[in-house]
Amino acid sequence: MHKIWKMTWVQVKLSYRIKIAFFFMFIMPMAFFFIYAGLFARGNPNAVAQVMGPLVSLSVISSGLMGLGMQIVMMRERDMLRRYHLAPITALDVIVSRLIANYLLYLPVVVFQFALAIWMFHMPLQGSLFGLWLVFSLGFLSLGGLGLIVAGVINTMQEAQAVNNILFFAMLFLTGSTVPLSQLPHYLQKLSLFLPPTLMVIASQMMMLGNQGVAQHWPEIIGLVLSFIASLGLAAPLFRWEKEEKVSRRNRLKALWALAPLLVVGIWLNLSSGFQRTNRPLFHPSAQTAAAAKAAANSAARHLLPPHGR
């Protein structure tokens, strides 16, 4: 484990030394924070609470899916991985250290965004903090694993950029990260349940708006856990150290197994009436309005009414 922590620590240090990495790690997420909270939510505390889940999902998609995968492809293309290949470390050592490093870079930004939302926009922080941390963490790890699988089956940076952009924009618009789920046509709402960021958006939004916890959103958490395990389990065997080592068709087909848990979870959630009932406010505009009003009322009541015993 010592070598994994060492690789993680070095990677974290290097990220802070590279200006462009700092831009994508910090500046861009903060820019999106002000766009989402300041413009979309217009600074309204409850509206801000509503957009925080999608905002974090956006960070997860860009740093987890795109950032991590592109880093590996870039290192392979520049023959940097080759030097590590000569050392007595495994592909899993490299993957785990990269995942942890990117997670340690991503998490403080999310915490900072939440702190800023509370301080600047007086966002109410309802729901289970542990649940929010769990959902955001699993979401990151799940998307990171998918990014590593893409890196394993892609040969060049150009290919990686093309594939990642397709996945990025698909997830951006189909998961509630930008366009609210309630605004999507019914068939796209069903499709969205097959994508990991949707599970993260649903769970985090309902936790914050509905003051809910892990118990009410165990299906999403299970889905994210399964997605992470499958993607990590495939990322190691698909990992390539050398740029000359081309991807076999067999390995590309093997990568599709990462979709298996997403298919299972997506079908299950689409058929689960309990899940539909619990998360109805996110899929139906009228129910969303009612839920938002209820959340606003609860929040106002907690602030204005005197506490018992005074």
Partner 1 sequence: MNATPAVEVRDLRKNYGALEAVRGVSFSIPERTIFGLLGPNGAGKTSIIEMIEGLRAPDGGQIRVMGLDPVRDAIRVKQLIGAQLQTTSLQDKIRVEEVLDLFGTFYAHPMPLNSLLDLVGLVAKRSVYFQYLSGGEKQRVALALALVGNPKVLFLDEPTTGLDAQIRRELHQLILRIRQQGTTILLSTHYIEEAERLCDLVGILSQGTLHAISPPKELIRNLGEGDRLEVTLKQPIPLQTLTALPGVTEATQSDGRPEYILRGPSAGKMLAALAVHADRAGNELLEAHVAQATLEDVYLRMTGRRIEHA
What is the contact surface with partner 1 in residues (CB under 8 A)? 2-3, 6-7, 10, 13-14, 17-18, 78-80, 82-83, 85-90, 241-242
Of the pair 10, 166, the CB lying nearest partner 1 is at: 10
Measured at the alpha carbon of residue 279, what is the angle toward residues 36 and 284, in degrees to the nearest 5? 70
Q: How far is the CB of 13 from partner 1 (least distance, A)?
A: 8
Q: How far is the CB of 81 from partner 1 (least distance, A)?
A: 9
Of the pair 79, 170, the CB lying nearest partner 1 is at: 79
- Count CB atoms within 10 A of the CB of residue 41: 21
Contact at 8 Å (CB) between 296 and 46?
yes
Contact at 8 Å (CB) between 60 and 198?
no
Phi, psi of 135 (to 5 degrees): -65, -45
Q: How far is the CB of 172 from partner 1 (least distance, A)?
A: 30
Q: How far is the CB of 141 from partner 1 (least distance, A)?
A: 24
Of the pair 85, 280, the CB lying nearest partner 1 is at: 85
Of the pair 80, 263, the CB lying nearest partner 1 is at: 80
Measured at the alpha carbon of residue 203, what is the angle toward residues 185 and 183, in degrees to the nearest 5? 20
Q: Is 74 exposed, middle or buried (0-12, 13-18, 19+ CB in 10 A)?
A: middle
Contact at 8 Å (CB) between 182 and 285?
yes
- Euclidean distance between CA atoms 219 and 203, whole angstroms: 9
As a residue count, the chain comes to 310
One-letter amino acid at 98 equals: R
Q: How far is the CB of 54 from partner 1 (least distance, A)?
A: 33
- Euclidean distance between CA atoms 67 and 71, whole angstroms: 6
Of the pair 22, 112, the CB lying nearest partner 1 is at: 22
Of the pair 13, 303, the CB lying nearest partner 1 is at: 13
Q: How far is the CB of 178 from partner 1 (least distance, A)?
A: 33
Of the pair 155, 270, the CB lying nearest partner 1 is at: 155
HSE-CB at 235 with a 13 A cutoff on CA atoms is 31
Q: How far is the CB of 90 from partner 1 (least distance, A)?
A: 7
